Chain A
Amino acid sequence: MPAAATNDRVVPAPPAEPAILVVDDLVMRFGTSDGGVTALDHVSFKVRPGEFLAIIGPSGCGKSTLFNILGGLLTGYQGAVSVAGQSVAGPHASIGMVFQEESTFPWRNVVDNVAFPLEISGVAKAERIEKARHFIAMVGLHGFEKRYPSELSGGMRQRVAMARTLASKPKILLMDEPFAALDEQTRLLLGDKVLQIQQELKQTTLLITHNITEAVQLADRILVMTYRPGRTKRIVDIDLPRPRTSEIVSSEAFGRYVAQIWNDLREEASRGLSDDETRKLHAHDPHEPRS
C-alpha cells in the first residue's frame, strides 16, 4: 500500500508540485494553571494546489488549534504558515473556513447568507445574488434560496455555510469537521457532494476530522496526528480512483486504508482516553488536592 511512512518527528518529503500551503515547524503552547499544554509540537506539512488533504487525530491532538492557526484566528505560535508564498498572520482572503458548529446567520435567508462575503467585498447586489445562486445550486440547494436557516436541516445548513465560503473564492477551503453533527448516512452523501464540488472547482481543500471513513472517502492524503502534544505521526497517500463516490466505502482497498489508519490512531486514541479518564478520576477524588 502506498504510504509515506515517517517517524514521529520527521517532516515528510515535500510534494513534487510547488505547494500552495506550507506549514513549517508549528509549535503552539497554551498557558494553564498547572503549567501549560503543548497543543502542537513541530508540525510541518505542505499542500499542493487542487489537493485534498485530511488531517485526522484523536480528541485533544490539536486539530482545532491547527484549524484556527491556519485560518488566522489564532496567533502566538512559533513557526510559519504561508499561502502561495504569503505569510499568514491573521485572517487571510486566500483561506475560506467552514466551521464545525452551525454558522449560518439565522437572520439571513439562504441567498443572503451565501452572498455575505460578496456583500462585504462591495459586489453590486444583482451580481452577488446571481453568484450566490450559482453556489447554492452547486451545493444542491436550488429552490431553497428564500428559506431561512431555521427552515433547513443540519446538513442543509452546513451546505449553506460551505456555499458561503466558496462564494468568497478562497484558494484553500479549510473545513473543521463540518459534518460531525450529522448522522452517518447523511455524512456519506454530503461527502459525495464535497467530492463533486472539489473536483469541479479543483479546489485545494483541508479537512480536519476524527472520522476515518470520511477522511479516506474524501482525501488524496491523510495526515495522522498524535495525541497531545499534536505531532505529525504519519502521512498516508490514498491511492483510490477519482472521481469517487460514497460507493467506494464498500471496496476492499477502502477497508485496507481504514484499517491502516485505525492502526496508527488506535494507540493515540487509547492515550487520549486514558488521559481523559485519569483527569476525570482526579477531578472527582475528594482526597486529591485541587489545584
Chain B
Amino acid sequence: MSAARLAAPRWLPAFVGLGSGLAFLVAVELLIRAGAINRFIVPLPSEVIASFARVITEEDIPRRLAQTAWECLAASLLLTLFGVAIGALMHRVPLIRRACETWVAGFASAPLVLAYPLFLVLFGRSTLTIIMLAFLSGLPPVILKTVEGLVSTRRVLINVGRSFKLTGAQQFWKILFPSALPTIFVGIRLGMIFALINVVAVEFLINFGGLGQLINELAERYDLPGTYAAISFVVLVSIAFFIVTERAERWLRS
C-alpha cells in the first residue's frame, strides 16, 4: 500500500475533534435523560444550545463581549509593554535577573485572582480593577519569555552586530529584539490567555463588566441553560482567541 493511500486526509483530525465533542454532548444528553446526571445541576445540552439565541439577543451579548474584549485588550497592551521592558531590563542587568527571575517564575503560578479584594480597595468596583488584575496575572510569562528569547539569541548574530560596530541600542533593536521576537510572542500569547481568564473571573467575582458578570447574573437567576450557554460562549471566544494567536505565532516563526 502506498504512503499516499496510508496518509490520513487533511480534514480527518478536525472531523475527529468535532465528532468527539459532539459525541460527548450526545452522551451527556443521554445520561441526563436516563437520570444518571441530575438535570437540576447540569442542564440538557439541547436546552443549552437552544438558549444561545435567547442569551445573545436578550442579554446584550455584543455590548458585554465588547466590554470584555476592551478589558482584555487594555490588559494585553499593558502586559506587552511592561513585560517586554522588564524582561529587557532583566537581560541587560544580570544582577536584577539573578535576583528576580525565581520570584517572577513563582509569581506566574500564584492565584493572583484571590487578591481581588485588595484591588477593589485600590481601584474600586471598576474596569480598572479587572484590567489591573488581568495585567498582573499575565505579566510573568511575558517577562520570562522575553528574558529567554534575548538570552538565547545566537552568539554569532551578536558578533555580526559587533563586527558592524552597532551601538547598544542598534544591537538591541536590530538583532536581539527581532531574534527574540518569536519567543517573546509565545510569552505574550500566554500572558493574553492568562489575562482573558482573569478578566472573566474577576468580572464574575465582582459582578461587573462583560461576559463574567453575565454568567454571574444568569446563575443568580438560576437560569441554568442560560448560564451554561454563557459559559460556552466564553469558551468559544477563548478557542477563537487561541486559534488567532496561534496562527499569528506560526506566521511569526515562519
Contact = CB atoms under 8 A, between A and B. Distances in A.
B181 interface: yes
Contacts of A73: 159, 162-163
B164 A168 contact: yes
B197 to A, nearest CB: 31
Contacts of A95: 163
Contacts of B165: 90-91, 93, 120
Judged by DSSP, the binding face of A is: loop
A103 B170 contact: no
Given A105-B175, A107-B179, A150-B254, A120 B156 contact: no
Contact of A99 (B160, B170, B174, B175): B160
A113 to B, nearest CB: 10
B108 to A, nearest CB: 27
Interface in A64-114: 71-73, 90-91, 93, 95-97, 99, 101-103, 105-107
A101 B156 contact: yes
Nearest to A161: B160
A102 B156 CA distance: 8
A227 interface: no
Interface string B147-178: 00000001011011011111000100011001
A117 interface: yes
Contact of B160 (A90, A103, A106, A150): A103
Given A120-B164, A120-B166, A120-B170, A107 B159 contact: no
A6 B200 CA distance: 79
Contacts of A99: 156, 159-160
A110 to B, nearest CB: 15
B163 A107 contact: no
B164 A101 contact: no
Interface in A198-245: none
B178 A103 contact: no
Contacts of A117: 164
- Among B157, B160, B166, max chain A CB count under 10 A is at B160
B175 A103 contact: no
Nearest to B163: A97
Interface in A4-43: none
Interface string B190-227: 00000000000000000000000000000000000000
A169 to B, nearest CB: 12
Contact of B178 (A91, A101, A107): A107
Given A105-B178, A107-B178, A96 B156 contact: no
A145 B129 CA distance: 50
- Among A72, A90, A93, A120, max chain B CB count under 10 A is at A120
Contact of A103 (B157, B174, B254): B157
24 contacts: A71-B159, A72-B162, A72-B163, A73-B159, A73-B162, A90-B165, A91-B162, A91-B165, A96-B163, A97-B163, A101-B154, A101-B156, A102-B156, A103-B156, A103-B157, A103-B160, A105-B160, A105-B175, A105-B179, A106-B179, A116-B164, A116-B174, A120-B164, A120-B166
Interface of B: 154, 156-157, 159-160, 162-166, 170, 174-175, 178-179, 181, 254
Interface of A: 71-73, 90-91, 93, 95-97, 99, 101-103, 105-107, 116-117, 120, 150, 168
